[in-house]
Structure 1
Amino acid sequence: MDMVGEARLEASRSVVWDALNDPEILKKSIPGCEELQKLSDTSYTAVVVSKVGPIKARFLGNVSLSDIKAPASYTLVGEGQGGMAGFAKAEIRVELEELDQSLTLLRYTVKANVGGKLAQLGSRLIDATARKNADDFFENFGRAVGGLDAKPAAGLDFSQYQQESLGAAPALPARAASLVVGSGDAKLGYGIGPTAFMFGSNDPDVMDVWVDDKIKIWISDHIAVVTLNRPKTKNAMSLGMWKAIPGILGALERDPNVRTVILTGAGEDFSAGADITEFGKVRSTDKQVWDYEVAVDACCDAIANINKPTIAVIRGFCLGGGAHLAMSCDFRYAASTSKFGIPAARLSIIYGVKGTQKLLNLVGLVQAKKILFGSQRFGAPEALKLGFIDHMTGAIESEAKPTLLESLFGKKKSVDQKLSDDPMVTARGFAKLLASNAPLSISGAKYLLNGIAMGRGALDSDLAEELIAAAGKSNDYHEGRKAFAEKREPQFQGN
Structure 2
Amino acid sequence: MEIQADRENKPLLVERRDNIAIVTINRKSHKNAVSLAMWHELAALATELSGDREIRVIVLRGAGDDFCAGADIGEFDNVRRDAATARIYEAANSAAFAAFRNAPIPVVAAIRGICFGGGFGLAAACDLRIATPDALFSVPAAKLGLAYPHDAMADIVHASGPQMAKYLAFSGARIDAQAALAAGFLLEIVETAKFEARVAMLAEEIAANAPLSNRASKAAIRAVLSGDAADAMRAKTLGDETFDSADYAEGRAAFTARRKPVFAGR
Q: Indicate the TM-score class for this superposition, using the shorter chain for normalisation.
A: over 0.9
**Structure 2 gaps, min length 5:** none
2:121 partner letter: H
RMSD: 1.9
Which residue number in structure 2 is paired with residue 469 of structure 1? Answer: 240
How many Å separate the matches in 1 of 2:232 and 2:161?
A: 27
Write the mapping of 1:145-164 to structure 2, written as runs, cut at 5 A: none
2:69 partner letter: A
Is 1:348 aligned to 2:119, yes or no?
no
Q: Which has the higher contact order (CA 8 A, sep 6+)?
A: 2
Q: CA, structure 1 residues 290+377, in 2 after alignment: closer, same or farther (shift >3 Å)?
A: same
Write the mapping of 1:61-460 to structure 2, written as runs, cut at 5 A: 131=8, 210=10, 214-394=11-191, 420-454=192-226, 456-457=227-228, 459-460=230-231
1:343 partner letter: P
2:141·2:172 contact (CA, 8 Å) conserved in 1? Answer: yes
How many Å separate the matches in 2 of 1:255 and 1:363?
A: 30
How many Å separate the matches in 1 of 2:236 and 2:167?
A: 39
TM norm structure 1: 0.51
Q: CA, structure 1 residues 293+108, in 2 after alignment: closer, same or farther (shift >3 Å)?
A: closer
Q: CA, structure 1 residues 458+316, in 2 after alignment: closer, same or farther (shift >3 Å)?
A: farther
Q: 1:410-452: per-residue Cα shift (whole Å, max 9, x none)?
A: xxxxxxxxxx445332121011111010000000110110121
How many Å separate the matches in 2 of 1:457 and 1:257?
A: 29
Per-residue deviation, 1:241:
0.8
Which residue number in structure 2 is paired with residue 493 of structure 1? Answer: 264
- Give aligned-pair identity as a percent: 35
How many Å separate the matches in 2 of 1:281 and 1:329?
A: 29
1:314·1:423 contact (CA, 8 Å) conserved in 2? Answer: no
2:156·2:165 contact (CA, 8 Å) conserved in 1? Answer: yes
TM norm structure 2: 0.94
How many Å separate the matches in 2 of 1:285 and 1:374?
A: 23
How many Å separate the matches in 1 of 2:220 and 2:262?
A: 24
1:270·1:314 contact (CA, 8 Å) conserved in 2? Answer: yes
2:161·2:184 contact (CA, 8 Å) conserved in 1? Answer: no
1:277 partner letter: G
2:79·2:86 contact (CA, 8 Å) conserved in 1? Answer: yes
Q: Which structure dedicates a bigger proportion of its chain to helix?
A: 2
How many Å separate the matches in 2 of 1:267 and 1:222?
A: 24
1:452·1:459 contact (CA, 8 Å) conserved in 2? Answer: no
Q: Which structure dedicates a bigger proportion of its chain to strand?
A: 1
Per-residue deviation, 1:387:
1.1
How many Å separate the matches in 2 of 1:326 and 1:223?
A: 18
Which residue number in structure 2 is paired with residue 68 of structure 1? Answer: none
2:5·2:24 contact (CA, 8 Å) conserved in 1? Answer: no
**Structure 1 gaps, min length 5:** 1-6, 9-104, 110-129, 133-209, 395-419
2:138·2:174 contact (CA, 8 Å) conserved in 1? Answer: yes
- Indicate which of 243, 255, 264 corresponds to 1:484: 255
Write the mapping of 1:25-36 to structure 2, written as runs, cut at 5 A: none
Q: CA, structure 1 residues 351+216, in 2 after alignment: closer, same or farther (shift >3 Å)?
A: same
Q: CA, structure 1 residues 231+422, in 2 after alignment: closer, same or farther (shift >3 Å)?
A: farther
How many Å separate the matches in 1 of 2:248 and 2:77?
A: 54
Q: CA, structure 1 residues 365+460, in 2 after alignment: closer, same or farther (shift >3 Å)?
A: closer
Larger Rg: 1 or 2?
A: 1
